[in-house]
Amino acid sequence: MSANIYQQINEITQAIKRHSSIRPQVGIILGSGLGSLAAEATDAVEIPYTNIPHFHGTSVEGHAGKMILGTFHGVPTVFLQGRFHLYEGYSMDEVVLPTRVICALGIHTVVLTNAAGGINTRYRPGDLMLINDHLNLMGDNPLKGPNLAKLGPRFPDLSEAYSKTCLDVLSSCAEELSMPVHSGVYGGLLGPTYETPAEVRMLRTLGADAVGMSTVPESIAANHLGVRVAGVSCITNLAAGLSPRKLSHQEVIENSRLGVEKLHSLMTLAIPRLVKTKSVADVPNRAHALTENNP
């Protein structure tokens, strides 16, 4: 199984390098309804997932299913417009393959974005939450099974699953933009059902400020590889039981529009600064080491 994943990563990165000469420094994974950020990239090359070996098309509305390589405000960047979720029936290996691939392209920082339900009663639809930690409540872990030693250690440290440096950059950019943002804990659940009100109360007791069905596997896989993670949730709805309204994916997509412009402004200012805070002393990205001798 492990040799297979190394081969897949090699094969995919070689295919991508044939499409674009851009060698990205930053990766941005765009959540439900947040895909439009990639439109700001210049000299962009779009690769539909269906043209990428071992990738699947995306089945969820609001997830386009494209990789875009381009320059985002001066920074070579790779965007993933759409992700694979565990609830779609994919294995954890499949869910984190795109993350591992963009890491193998040489990025040093990945920004994970998502749509999430607000559990913290101060949160409103359209608010942004900088993720400062997560609760893995998915009942699974992408690193389960034999350790892929070329990718990272058996027991990776997750005490800074969301880089403090990145969080500081994002907070100071938000402040400069006079944009109020929250900082909180993301609870990652399997889905695809939204939560019951009792589960939302449980999640609050456990310390979650927002809840969603993604991001946690990607954060774990990137940390395993030695790639810095920043995370931003766009609060699209009050979590179940906190409003009289019933939840729907349609509402999530519609309300993501309330946060997407803020996300654009924040990323425009933050991405070039995130690049400046990367130090050569930081741990190396092991996925890149795996593939960099390939053309």
Q: Does 213 bind ligand HPA (CB under 6 A)?
A: yes
Does residue 10 carry a catalytic annotation? no
Q: Does 255 bind ligand HPA (CB under 6 A)?
A: no
Q: Which of 136, 223, 237, 256 is catalytic?
A: 237
Q: Which residues contact 185 (CB under 8 A, 6 or more apart)?
A: 131, 132, 133, 134, 135, 207, 208, 209, 210
From 17-25, 33-41, 113-121, 264-272, span contacting ligand HPA (CB under 6 A): 113-121
Residue 139 in tokens: 């009942």
Here's the x/- map for ligand HPA, 235-254, by CB under 6 A: it reads as: -xx-x-------x----x--
Between the alpha carbon of residue 271 and those of residues 28, 254, 263, the distances in Å are: 10, 26, 11
Q: Name the minimum Å distance from CB 85 to ligand HPA.
A: 10
Burial of 186 from C-beta contacts in 10 A (0-12 / 13-18 / 19+): buried
From 14-22, 81-89, 171-179, 233-241, span contacting ligand HPA (CB under 6 A): 233-241
Conformation bin of residue 244: beta by default, left when phi > 0, alpha when psi is -120 to 50: alpha
DSSP designation for 51 = G
Binding ligand HPA by CB under 6 A: which of 188, 212, 226, 259?
Answer: 212
Q: Which of 38, 41, 49, 63 is catalytic?
A: 63
Contact 111, 69 (CB under 8 A): no
Instruction: Name the residues annotated as catalytic.
Output: 32, 63, 85, 87-88, 115, 213-214, 237, 249
- Note the residues at the interface with ligand HPA (CB under 6 A): 115-117, 194-195, 211-213, 236-237, 239, 247, 252
